Amino acid sequence: MKKKDNKLKLTKLSELGEFEVINRITKNFSNKNNSTITGIGDDAAILKYSDKNVVVSSDILVEGIHFNLTYMPLKHLGYKSVVANISDIYSMNAICSQITVNIAVSNRFKLESIEELYFGINAACKKYGVDLVGGDTASSNKGLIISITAIGAQDSNSIVKRSGAKLNDLIVVSGDIGSAYMGLQVLERENEVFKVNPQNQPDLSQYAYIIQRQLKPEARKDVINYFEDINLIPTSMIDISDGLSSEIIHICSNSEVGCDIYEDKIPVSEELMSSCEEFKLNSTTIALSGGEDYELLFTIDQKDYEKVKKSLDLTVIGHITDLKKGMNLITKANQKIPITSQGWKSF
């Protein structure tokens, strides 16, 4: 008897052509924002913001540099690529309403793979109330490349920059930090084990939280909404994509101030602590230098402390000092150590 072939037939992109591919991968997207006049389907999107300032950010993700498809599911990659971009809009105290997505793919990718990527993009758009309004597709001989532009708006007097921190401001961070980096370390280790023994099926249940923080992070739109609820405008803000040390250096350099950050105040998860013990790494070093947490790091006037202390998700980790005092970490042993940037470097 002839054995039945149950293998799913995948669709080559060359069989469809660019326009049909675009139609297939964008058919489930719908517009949610009044500021979107015309989205996908014309030469350019038409947006209307009236009296608000428009905020625009762009980012690019390259296979082999920013992600490894051996352990990164395409739907998670699509989701994460949106989160990474809209987080920059939230860090300006603005709300993201539209994105454009450009992808370049090699011929090893089939239509079903690209649909899986856009499934994740669509899931993020739905969760954060964002409209996909355009983009482009192209060929690549370097695997998969994703470039996203995020667009948002905010009243001019509510936009927050990196450059507004003032002497004696409190330094605050949302959530916990460092977990995404440790999730990456676990995935990289198991990938090396898999190369040696492809039959190995690791039990990653004890790493579920830190792996999720790496593969499917969340942007902190909820924090921006909370600011509005409690009538708070931070003096400066940035998202933690390249590590806490790099981000506080950005704020201090742009604001021309110094800072003291207290080691015992830095919020880290129990899962981070246990995995650092296993990997023989220092949890403070990981919190300072790890990236891709997409938490918000911001400064507030001391008079606003009462507003933020009610939130269990916001932690005061230090304060702004005079420029001449430099940027320092105050250790648990009460030693003062200069903060240096050990985060992500693009080149």
Among all chains, which residue has been given the structure tokens 């918000």? Answer: 296
pTM of whole model > 0.85?
Answer: yes
Q: Classify residue 100: in a domain, yes or no.
A: yes
Q: Classify residue 344: in a domain, yes or no.
A: no
Q: Compare 199 and 229 and report the one with higher pLDDT.
A: 229
pLDDT in tens, 239-293: 999 999 999 999 999 999 999 999 999 999 999 999 999 999 999 999 999 999 9
* Three-state DSSP state, 47: strand
Q: Classify residue 8: in a domain, yes or no.
A: no
Strand-strand pairing, 95-105 and 53-62? unpaired
User: What size, in residues, is the chain?
Assistant: 347
Separation between Cα atoms, residue 14 and residue 20, nearest integer Å: 10
Residues 142 and 231 in one domain: no
| CB count in 10 Å sphere of residue 16 | 14
Q: Classify residue 28: in a domain, yes or no.
A: yes
Residue 92: C-alpha distances to residues 41, 163, 236 (Å): 30, 11, 9
Q: Classify residue 286: in a domain, yes or no.
A: yes
Q: Which two tokens stand for residue 254?
A: 């742009």
**Averaged confidence pLDDT in the chain:** 91
The boundaries of the domain holding residue 282 are 162-338
Separation between Cα atoms, residue 248 and residue 253, nearest integer Å: 8
Given 154, 172, 189, which residue is the final one in a domain?
154
Q: Classify residue 9: in a domain, yes or no.
A: no
Cα-atom radius of gyration of the chain, to the nearest Å? 22
- In 63-204, where do the E strands start and end? 95-105, 131-139, 145-154, 170-174
Given 125, 154, 183, which residue is the final one in a domain?
154
Q: Classify residue 6: in a domain, yes or no.
A: no
pLDDT in tens, 77-96: 999 999 999 999 999 999 99
Residues 172 and 99 in one domain: no
Q: How far is CA 309 from the centre of its chain?
A: 25
Given 116, 133, 154, which residue is the final one in a domain?
154
Q: How many domains are contained in the chain?
A: 2
Query: How large is the average pLDDT for residues 60-68?
Result: 94
Q: Lowest mean pLDDT: which of 217-226, 232-241, 336-345?
A: 336-345
Supply the CATH number for residue 122's domain.
3.30.1330.10
Separation between Cα atoms, residue 86 and residue 90, nearest integer Å: 6
Residues 174 and 314 in one domain: yes
Alpha-carbon torsion (166, 298, 234, 261), positive or negative: negative
Among all chains, which residue has been given the structure tokens 């905010």? Answer: 154
Separation between Cα atoms, residue 183 and residue 207, nearest integer Å: 7
Supply the CATH number for residue 226's domain.
3.90.650.10
Q: Classify residue 133: in a domain, yes or no.
A: yes
How far apart, in Å, do the first and last CA atoms of the chain sit?
58
